[in-house]
Structure 1
Amino acid sequence: MIASSLFLLYFSYFENRFFPNLFIDDIQVGGYTKEEARDRLEKRLITRQENWPERRLEISFQESSSSISLQEIEANDNFDEVLAEAFLVGHQGNFWQKFLTFTKSSFQKQRFYTQISINEEKLQTFLRNFIALTDLPGEKASAILHTSGKIESLEINPGSIGLHLDYEENWQQLQRLFDQNLKNLKDTDFQVIAITQNTAQPLDAEGLREAQERIKKLIGKSIVFQFSYQKFTLNDQDLVSFLAFPDGISQEDNNQIAIEEKVATWAKQINQPGKNAVFSYDPETLIVHEFQADEAATVLDQEKTVDRIVQDLEKIENDPEDKTQFEEILPVTTAPAAISLASTNDLGINELIGFGESWYAHSIPARIHNVALTASKINNIIIPPGEEFSFNKALGEVSTETEYKAAYIIQNGQTVLAPGGGVCQVSSTLFRALLDSGLKVSKRLAHSYRVSYYEINNEPGFDATVYSGNIDLRFINDTEHFILLHFDTDSENLYMDAKIYGTSDGRTTEIIGYRKWGYQAAAAPVYLTDPSLAPGQIKQIDWSATGIKAEFTNVIKDKNGQVLREDSYYSNYQPWSAKYLVGPSN
């Protein structure tokens, strides 16, 4: 009875006091109220915390460092939290739980420790700012081949040291610092060395030698990817740019990002939604009102394409035969259109049987206009079986009255401004489609001089000049069905193509025996006054070219592989000079 009364008195006494033998930061608070305990803590710890507002956290990396006061990150001793935690001892649970706590506290000390609380958002901002100012991105080794085929134009950048301060690792380090007990912290604890990761290392002499040996194997090599009539060529300059060089940190042999970026540009050209065919025409006059060939939906598998490039790079570097060109078919998924071209007509205009393309970079605005105008005038012409097509006849008059602008043309061996400059871009593109189709070309004349536009992505000898009268491009529809000529021009990217639609009879074509010879030095530059330019301004519109002869044979075979014809083409180009437009003198 007496014992019970004593216990009740005991619990009553400690109802608003800490239980015996409780210590916070080694300071006894047992028997004290919360206010008394706080006062003891503040008085006993004042010597340790008297400079608290001036204490700073410093983080450093090599020669760089940054600091912030604990006051700025709202550091706090957090006495309230530790006092509340310690006060729970003996003040929670039922009678018997409190009795056990009383018994335990009579013989055993219980210790609690103050921890610092901070404004984590402000500390994180401090860390991010330090990383942003201190990160050393470095540079991975890379190589540039400035001129295709010329090893002497090679430039190798050995790279530079790269160091990265990882945010997560450094944040965890700071968290561990402030998770410590306040009593154990010393001033030196607030001086932190940043955790870094090496991201790049410059190539040493041996690494540079190995890089040069790898690059030598790529000089003069190429990879040609094809889908339908589209070709994508990676020359030696591209291949060199795709290399990566192991530097002791990264062991990658290829620049995956550069390869993926290149393939992504191809995907933009290839990936297309499907299009249904639309074809309406007058059956009496064969005048076409509307034409759209069916187009399958296409999607390039970019991942597979990247893998093939990587594999081909390895093949080239280890090829014992030293092949100069590797050919690949692009992995493209296709889905046919719902309405086919064949279902829209009974003329036999069912499918693509011939394709040609050309580029005309550096063309002046008037020439660009004329190319588009010419293509539109002969677009969607239907040619019956056995009929000869004349480019000049189909095109009609070329003059300012027919909306042509003055652009530079070759006339009597001179470059002159005249309506129609650019017409030959269309005739040359059609000639290439005729070669592909195997149709009978009955008349083709090469230009007297090499024209730079026609040698973009092509060799000399694949052009066809037209002017008037007998300077013409002509061919015969020697199939059993009608054919249709269709042209598309892109005046922004300065590209055009010619498509011939009909019914394939199984014939195939192959260009053989191409050769060029008889080089002659280019003629002196020609400067032409252009009143649209500012005085003294110079603009190059044509590039010098050597004189040269070229020839090739187009072999046409039937569906059984038997030779139908061997059409030979010869071109004799005189030396040509660079052309410059010059603003008028004052």
Structure 2
Amino acid sequence: MFNKEFKKKIKIKLDNLRKDKTFNIWFKVFLSVFFLNIFYFILLLGRISPGVMVAGISLGGKTPEEAIELLSTTITSPEKISLTSNEQVFDIELEIIDFSYDFQKSAQAAYTLDKTGNFAYDIWQKLVLPFKTANLGLRLSLNEDQLFESLSIIAEQASVEPIYPSAKLVNNLVVVEKGVKGQAVDIESLRSEIGQTLAFSKTSPVPLPLVNVDPTLTDEEVEGFRARAENLINKSLYLTFEYQTYTYKNDDVFALLDPKGEYSEEEILSLVTDLASSINREPQNSTFVFDGGRVNEFSPAKDGVSLKIDSLVNMVTGNLRTLETTENKTVSFEIPYETTAPDVKTGDVNNLGIKELIGRGSSRYRGSISSRIHNLSLAASKFNGVLISPGETVSFNNTLGDVSLYTGYQQAYIIKDGKTVLGDGGGVCQVSTTFFRAILDAGLPVIERRAHAYRVGYYEQDSAVGFDATVYSPTTDLKFKNDTPGHLLIQTYTNTAAASLVFEIYGTSDGRVATTTKPITTDVTPPPEDLYTDDPTLPEGTIKQIDWKAWGAKSRFTYKVQRGGETIYEKTFYSNYRPWQAIFLRGTGPVI
């Protein structure tokens, strides 16, 4: 009994002793490791940890200053980087993109790799970095915009442009181009690869990453695209803004279709963006300089305009769908926009009652000879800045003044004594016709107006027949009365490039609204046979046209002016155009 008890106690003591030794050993090991790490960390104070490299250069154990020195003496900044594609080589001079290495930031990045402030992470990094190297890239700087521009130029040369599907109207038949495959440079991938090459100081050329672009249509898609385009033949979209109309028809409309879907968002956005670039404008303050009974300088106040891009994209898409899915031949809608008021309005700069635009008339003169363009521009300038008092009756001829070579006019074709002949001031009737249209738009009473003897093609380029007015001093005039409560101001604009003339009348609106009916044209008669007259002053065999054929017709329209629902002026304008024959001179004289 005693022996068993004693043995048990001895065993317990031996076990405890054994346990104490194990503890001591592990405790000693722990202390050794702990103090070794403390010593290790003390040695690395202010230094980069072992195993850290930058662009393949070992910086372990070095201070940041020593690392900067090593990097700057070891790394040579390249002068260019080469890009390759097949057998082509494209070089980018690094000076162009403002490239440089930043050795200070590179060394600092290496130094702070295991000094993030996260204690556990930093301790772990210090322990594993000697056994697992970290190779960092060099820090660098460059002009990203200039790099992108350089890469875009190279991409344009290296890419194989795909041909995207399209539909064209040729001889009233829809011809579909199914498209051709191409290749494009992946610029974003290329930028990344260039960054890596420079960061790790590599000298090998960078291959251009090319991606295949396949826009081609299947035979089934071709037929579907053709059917959609055929449904839109001679259908038109009309977009209006102020006095301008933008027309899209046939090929322009086909381009808005997505051959593989519904409608092309990219093409519609491109159309809208182009419109915005021509329509958007900043607010314009008014200026008004009055001197010697005439306004020498005037610019009306204009609201700033900003096209509503998203709204217009949706409207174009919706109206295009209407055009495609209905029998409508045309769809017209106004372009949506926002306005910003100017600081100085027209009424703020004068006390004459000139506040706003009350009438506008326009005409085109495509095909005019240079002397005619000169004359109409000169005549229009005589009306620019003219101020008209309340109650005043205006005579076109009196305002225009003398028309002759002595007053700067050149010879151009005029209608005189039933013939088309060269005379001083040919083209002046373009001005009177345009002024007549502005008078009608302003709702002013017309005292005198006469139509031309025959239809003149210039006046029907952007107008129905019958809206012309001829003048010939002193027998034929255009007259109207200012029956508004304030003064009127005339402004003229000649655009030779667009072959257009515009008259604008500014004043104070009294609420009147002017309308004109659609002209009624009757008794349309063909022109007589061409007339050839022998002319001994021309060499034999020479043919010279001196008059041009025109169809005869009678036309009338009614002009009505209302205010507050009451008609204050109404008049029907009649035009009687004679048929006109083409006349040619046939040379019978000696050949020189």
Alignment partner of 1:432 is 2:402: no
Counterparts of 1:246 and 1:565, CA distance in 2: 55
- Counterpart-to-counterpart distance in 1, 2:245 and 2:546: 27
Shift of 1:504: 0.6
Distance 2:546 2:223 in 1: 41
Partner residue in 2 for 1:14: none
What is the letter of the counterpart of residue 563 of structure 1? T
Query: Structure 1 CA distance, aligned partners of 2:476 and 2:230?
Result: 48
Report the Cα distance in structure 1 between the residues aligned to 2:425 and 2:323, rounded to whole angstroms.
Answer: 46
SS in 1 for 2:519: strand
- Offset at residue 270 of structure 1 (A): 4.9
The whole-number CA distance in structure 2 between the counterparts of 1:300 and 1:423 is 37
Q: What letter corresponds to residue 240 of structure 2 in structure 1?
A: F
Distance across 1 between alignment mates of 2:166 and 2:584: 37
Give the 3-state SS of the residue equivalent to 2:267 in structure 1: helix
Secondary structure in structure 1 of the residue aligned to 2:439: helix
Cα deviation code 1:556-577 (max 9, x no counterpart): 210x222323322232333456
Deviations 1:145-182 (A, max 9, x none): 47xxxxx534423233223254469979x99xx9xxxx
2:227 and 2:544 map into 1 onto residues whose CA distance is 38
CA gap of 1:346–1:133, structure 2 versus 1, over 3 A, is: closer
Alignment of 1:256-405 (within 5 A): 256-257=266-267, 260-261=270-271, 264=274, 267-282=277-292, 286-319=293-326, 322-405=327-410
Tell me the amino acid that sits aligned with residue 297 of structure 1. Answer: G
Within 5 A, what are the aligned runs for 1:180-219?
196-202=211-217, 204=219, 207-208=222-223, 210-217=225-232, 219=234
Residue pair 2:280, 2:304 contacting (<8 A) in 1 also? no
Amino acid at match of 2:178: G
Instruction: Please show how residues 475-490 of structure 1 align to structure 2 within 5 Å.
Output: 475-490=480-495
In structure 2, C-alpha distance between the alignment counterparts of 1:199 and 1:543, rounded to whole Å: 55
Look up the match of 2:256: 243
CA contact (8 A) 1:281 1:290 kept: no
Report the more deviating stretch, 268-277 or 349-358: 268-277
Q: Following TM superposition, where does structure 1 have runs of at least 4 consecutive aligned residues deviating by more than 6 angstroms?
A: 127-134, 168-172, 524-528, 536-543, 577-585
Cα distance change of structure 1 residues 258 and 415 upon mapping to structure 2, 3 Å threshold: farther
Of 160-169 and 288-297, the range deviating more from structure 2:
160-169
How far apart in 2 are the matches of 1:343 and 1:471? 39
CA distance in 2, matches of 1:512, 1:359: 21
Partner of 1:231: 244
Instruction: Output one character per residue of 1:260-289: Cα deviation in whole Å (capped at 9) or x when no partner.
Output: 24752563255244132213244xxx3334
* Whole-Å separation in 1 of the counterparts to 2:470 and 2:347: 33
Q: Which amino acid aligns with 1:143?
A: A
Distance 1:582 1:223 in 2: 47
TM-aligned CA distance change 1:453 to 1:340, over 3 Å: same
Say if 2:480 is the partner of 1:467: no
CA 144–552 in structure 1, closer or farther in 2 if over 3 Å, else same: farther
> What is aligned with 1:547?
552
Q: TM-score, normalised by structure 1?
A: 0.63
CA-to-aligned-CA distance 1:483-504 (integer Å, 9 cap, x gap): 2222121233322211111111
1:305 alignment partner AA = L
Q: Are residues 135 and 345 of structure 1, via their aligned partners in 2, closer, same or farther at CA, if it must alter by over 3 Å?
A: closer
Structure-2 change in CA distance of 1:433 and 1:67 (3 Å): closer
1:267–1:300 contact (8 Å) kept in structure 2: no
**Cα distance per residue 1:227-267 (max 9 Å; x no partner):** 2xx222314346535433424xxx35237437624752563
1:446 aligns to what?
451
Partner of 1:163: 182
Cα distance change, pair 328–521 in 1 and its aligned pair in 2 (3 A): same
SS at match of 1:415: strand
**1:468-547 mapped onto 2 (5 Å cutoff):** 468-522=473-527, 545-547=550-552
- Structure 2 gap segments, 5+ residues each: 1-83, 90-126, 132-150, 198-206, 534-540
Residue 566 (structure 1) aligns with:
570
Letter of the structure 2 residue corresponding to residue 458 of structure 1: S
Between the aligned partners of 1:198 and 1:419, the Cα distance in structure 2 is 63
Question: SS where residue 318 of structure 2 aligns?
Answer: helix
Aligned to 1:32: none
Q: Secondary structure at the match of 2:520?
A: strand
What is the percentage of aligned positions where both structures have the same residue?
Answer: 33
In 2 relative to 1, CA 359–513 (structure 1 residues): closer, same or farther, beyond 3 Å?
A: closer
The CA distance in 1 between the partners of 2:376 and 2:309, in whole Å, is 34
SS at 1:275 equivalent: coil
RMSD (CA atoms): 4.4
TM-fit CA distance, 1:412 = 2.8
Q: What is the CA–CA distance in structure 2 between the aligned matches of 1:414 and 1:288, rounded to whole Å?
A: 39
State how far apart, in whole Å, the 1-side matches of 2:221 and 2:153 are.
Answer: 38
Identify the range of structure 1 (157-166 vs 451-460) with the bigger mean alpha-carbon deviation.
157-166
CA change 1:491–1:312 in 2 (3 A) is same
**Structure 1 Cα separation of the partners of residues 88 and 286 of structure 2:** 67
Q: Pick from 396, 403, 409 the counterpart of residue 414 of structure 2.
A: 409
Q: CA deviation at 1:406?
A: 0.8
- Distance in 2 between residues matched to 1:277 and 1:129, nearest whole Å: 46
Change (3 A) 1:429 1:256: farther
Shift of 1:506: 0.2
Contact 2:239 2:246 in 1 (8 A): yes
Show CA shifts across 1:74-128 (max 9, x none): xxxxxxxxxxxxxxxxxxxxxxx9xx99xxxxxxxxxxxxxxxxxxxxxxxxx99
Secondary structure in structure 1 of the residue aligned to 2:517: strand
Which letter maps to 2:463? N
Question: SS in structure 2 opposite 1:487?
Answer: strand
Give the TM-score, by structure 2 length: 0.62
Task: Choose the corresponding residue for 1:221, options 213, 218, 236.
Answer: 236
Say which is worse superposed, 153-162 or 264-273, in terms of deviation: 264-273
Assess if the C-alpha contact under 8 Å between 2:454 and 2:577 holds in 1: yes
SS in 2 for 1:298: strand
Aligned partner of 1:89 in structure 2 is: none
**Is the 8 Å Cα contact of residues 158 and 208 (structure 1) preserved in structure 2?**
no
Given that residues 267 and 302 in structure 1 are in contact (C-alpha distance below 8 angstroms), is that contact kept between their aligned partners in structure 2? no
Quick one: structure 1 residues 537 and 244, their matched pair in 2 at CA, closer, same or farther if it must change by over 3 Å?
farther
State the distance in 2 between where 1:244 and 1:318 align.
13
> What's the secondary structure of 1:200's corresponding residue?
coil
Would the alpha carbon gap of residues 317 and 297 (structure 1) be closer, same or farther in structure 2, given more than 3 Å must change? same
User: Quick check: 2:163–2:182 contact (8 Å CA) kept in 1?
Assistant: no
